Amino acid sequence: MRLRRPRRQRPRLDLRKTLFVLPNLITLASVFCGFNAIRLVARDNPTENDVYRAAVLLIFAMLFDMMDGRVARMTRTQSAFGLQLDSLADVISFGVAPAVLVYKWVLHREPIPGLIAAFLFVACAAIRLARFNVLSSAPSGAPIKPGRYIIGLPTPPSSGVLISLVVANHAAGGALGAEQYTWILLGVTVLLSLLMVSNVRFRSLKDLRLDAGSILLVLFVLGSSTFVWLRFQPEFVLIWLLSFYVSIGILESTRALVIRLFRGSVPQHDSLPPPQPG
């Protein structure tokens, strides 16, 4: 009589480990968009169409950057590894890529100042992300719960301002990229760079609360965006939204500074940044 061999149990699929890969793949998709954007403009004489296509790729990189953190929270796969990978991805997609883009688009007309401004943007983006990782991680390396405010302008909206200018320029037939605007765009690049490493607090859109103030703010944003859409062109809406976000942060920080100078008190805010780099 033959003895039956016990059946080997097939290894079970660990769903958690499988889901862990998903947000990281989305992050790498953002890196691919940034890398491809650099490839398009890093030639001797990129055409206007190349610059525009690179800007569109970086908009997709912004969308992927918004998705990876939300997917990680939905699947409960947040980790220190994902935080570090997201920061490295942002250096490429929202540091190097937009800097090369704006340099090849306009700043190359002023070789030395343009090169310095473009490099300053990359350097400030790297410093901002390194500071973010320090502030948003516990001693154990685990991500900290998000707060209402972010210290320094996040890299996606900072690069988004430059990207939206390129997109709007394409819609306006090249008017925004004219030679007379070279120094203005150089100044915008430097300003965005300094805001990234500043102590200015910007609101975290991941911690919005449903109250009267938030509802009024959303209604104002929708109404003003509709006006810009109808009065100008749809491509100008992104410029308006990002400029409004930056302006709100600057105005709130200025208000806090005035209160501290004249009343000796500052509204107490949660200064911890959100768990996903920006």
Closest CA to 36 of 50, 22, 15, 20: 50
Q: Which domain holds residue 79?
A: 18-208
Return the H-helix or E-strand segment holding 209: none
| Domain-located, residue 72 | yes
Domain-embedded: residue 160: yes
Structural contact between residues 90 and 62, judged by C-beta atoms closer than 8 angstroms: no
pLDDT confidence of residue 270: 46
Q: Does 277 reside within a domain?
A: no
The domain tally of the chain equals 1
Q: Is residue 270 part of a domain?
A: no
Q: Give the CATH number for residue 113.
A: 1.20.120.1760
For residue 272, the model assigns a pLDDT of 47
Beta strands in 80-239, from DSSP E residues, in sequence order: 149-151, 201-203
Q: What are phi and psi of 197, to 5 degrees?
A: -105, 10
- Which token pair is 230? 């109808």
For residue 41, being part of any structural domain is answered with: yes
What is the spatial distance between Cα 190 and Cα 195, in angstroms, rounded to a whole number? 9
CA distance 24 to 70: 12
Q: Is residue 86 part of a domain?
A: yes
d(CA 208, CA 198) in angstroms, rounded, equals 23
- CA distances, 89 to each of 16, 125, 255 (Å): 23, 11, 34
CB 124 within 8 A of CB 194: yes
Q: Are 121 and 98 in contact (CB under 8 A)?
A: yes
Name every residue whose Cβ is closer than 8 Å to that of residue 70 and which is 6 or more positions away in sequence: none
Instruction: Evaluate whether residue 261 is within a structural domain.
Output: no
Q: List strand residue ranges (DSSP E) for the chain, in order.
A: 149-151, 201-203
CB 121 within 8 A of CB 192: yes
Angle at which helices 182-196 and 155-171 cross, to 10°: 160
Angle between helices 97-105 and 48-74 (to 10 degrees): 160
DSSP 172: T
* pLDDT values of the chain reduced to their tens digit, one per residue, 278 residues: 455 555 665 555 455 566 678 888 999 999 999 999 999 999 888 889 999 999 999 999 999 998 888 888 788 878 888 888 899 999 999 999 999 999 999 999 999 999 999 999 999 999 999 998 887 766 655 556 556 778 899 999 999 999 999 999 988 888 778 888 999 999 999 999 999 999 898 887 665 666 676 778 778 888 988 988 888 888 899 999 999 999 988 988 888 788 888 876 444 444 444 444 45
Q: In this predicted structure, what is the pLDDT of residue 206?
A: 62
What are the respective helix, strand and coil percentages of the chain, to the nearest 5?
70, 5, 30
In-domain check, residue 156: yes
In SS3 terms, 83-106 reads as: HHHHHHHHHHHHHHHHHHHHHHHC
